[in-house]
Structure 1
């Protein structure tokens, strides 16, 4: 398998290369590129691999510009620190969407999905569309979280969670009944685990449940102010760059 890596952080690119080589020793990394311009140039000159690992935010813009400039015929695994581009990723050859910081298991799962899809097409001359979509679509997400309080372990179902938030460098859960629990996972890890249809990362500190949203109003400098049915310690503000994605997410029910 020939693989190229498109990643503008050299340390991350090297780490990804080492993980891929450890999981698939037979794989060949045939190119590494840091920008849209260099990637388009390489792909235009015939450097079509079997698989691409691609960062979303590159030094000279979003990677989706690559697909507008050149035809990419192979599967793509997107790696990014942000979860709001998942829909666009799956429109552009995406077979997986890995959130940074990724682990060896994350990359292993992504490579497994690629192998499964390859076998799927080899075994079926007429693919079952519903089965294929189920393989490509992100999972329904984590349904509960294990919490520890008063020397006891218990689980909290995501439907009972109004929002997750960062509280003094720790991650906490706020439930609709106003119970608060601390969890060991980071907010990035939680955002990657729960359903993106049910929860939205409004900013770096808050991940909110759709059912918790009471109303949304325009705010200064084209931001949005999100009001929840449960009061939050700070105002929930969404910057203008993310506002459109948020409103689309709210409408997509």
Structure 2
């Protein structure tokens, strides 16, 4: 099988190539394209690609813009950091996707799915519906959490929460004035209720408000440490696989 990777982060593309080689040494990576313009130029010409791995956010735009300029019949597996609306769009339109950091087992399943399928993917015809879901501006996000505090219920504004974290199975929200409240929800559910432009799940334990980031320090093996204001009692470590996405989110 011959594949093309569309990814603007060198570390991410190298990691994907490594994983691809791990699951099947017979898969040949034809090229890595790092932008919308490079992808349009490549797919405008005859090529041998049988499968495309495509990141959503590229250096010069969103990868969906590629489909406005070329007709791509090659099956596509989108790669993305968590975005509830992107995932909803993929499910509605039956387009496959992988969440970053990419898991080798899930990658293997996705590749095998396409190996076993002979159905041509009508990619271009589905992009319009995906864009409508992804670019809708009137999306509703959670604005308030009603939390137990002593013998009463308190409404806490989401915008007042610097970060959410889980400790021994209990989810807590820490406000900017350093008050702690127990939130009676799973961290996964909270993640899906928040505006992804403001809140990001940097690891399994923490969801952070962009405005709470005080600084980022480099850690060993390509990892990062995020320091927050107010400070967290637990060290917030970002994995090497997720580091580039976290930096991109903060810098967006």
- TM-score, with structure 1 as normaliser: 0.52
Q: 1:236 to 1:61 in 2, by over 3 A?
A: farther
CA contact (8 A) 1:198 1:209 kept: yes
State whether structure 2 residue 73 is matched by structure 1 residue 52.
Answer: no
Q: Report what 2:66 is aligned to.
A: none
CA RMSD of aligned residues (A): 3.9
Q: 1:171 to 1:75 in 2, by over 3 A?
A: farther
State whether structure 2 residue 134 is matched by structure 1 residue 72.
Answer: no
Deviation at 1:93, TM superposition (A): 3.7
Deviation at 1:54, TM superposition (A): 4.0
CA contact (8 A) 1:224 1:239 kept: yes
Q: 1:192 to 1:149 in 2, by over 3 A?
A: same
Q: Report what 1:185 is aligned to.
A: 185
Within a 5 Å distance, the mapping from 1:169-184 to structure 2 comes to: 169-184=169-184
Deviation at 1:148, TM superposition (A): 1.2
- Match of 1:60, SS? helix
Q: 1:71 to 1:142 in 2, by over 3 A?
A: farther
Q: Report what 1:225 is aligned to.
A: 225
Q: 1:52 to 1:183 in 2, by over 3 A?
A: same
Distance 2:124 2:165 in 1: 34
Q: Report what 1:201 is aligned to.
A: 201
Deviation at 1:74, TM superposition (A): 5.8
Deviation at 1:146, TM superposition (A): 1.1
Deviations 1:97-136 (A, max 9, x none): xxxxxxxxxxxxxxxxxxxxxxxxxxxxxxxx9xx46775
User: Where does structure 1 lack aligned partners over 5 or more consecutive residues?
Assistant: 1-34, 77-91, 97-128
- TM-score, with structure 2 as normaliser: 0.52
Deviation at 1:168, TM superposition (A): 1.4
Deviations 1:127-157 (A, max 9, x none): xx9xx46775682521111111122112111
Distance 2:155 2:200 in 1: 21
Q: Report what 1:235 is aligned to.
A: 235
Deviation at 1:159, TM superposition (A): 1.2
Greater relative contact order (Cα < 8 A, sep 6+): 2
Distance 1:138 1:74 in 2: 26
Deviation at 1:60, TM superposition (A): 1.4
CA contact (8 A) 1:52 1:74 kept: no
Q: 1:55 to 1:214 in 2, by over 3 A?
A: same
Q: 1:231 to 1:95 in 2, by over 3 A?
A: farther
Within a 5 Å distance, the mapping from 1:6-17 to structure 2 comes to: none
- Match of 2:217, SS? strand
Distance 1:199 1:146 in 2: 19
The runs of 4+ residues in structure 1 deviating greater than 6 Å are none
CA contact (8 A) 1:222 1:240 kept: yes
Q: 1:247 to 1:74 in 2, by over 3 A?
A: same
Deviation at 1:189, TM superposition (A): 0.5
Residues matched between the structures, number = 158
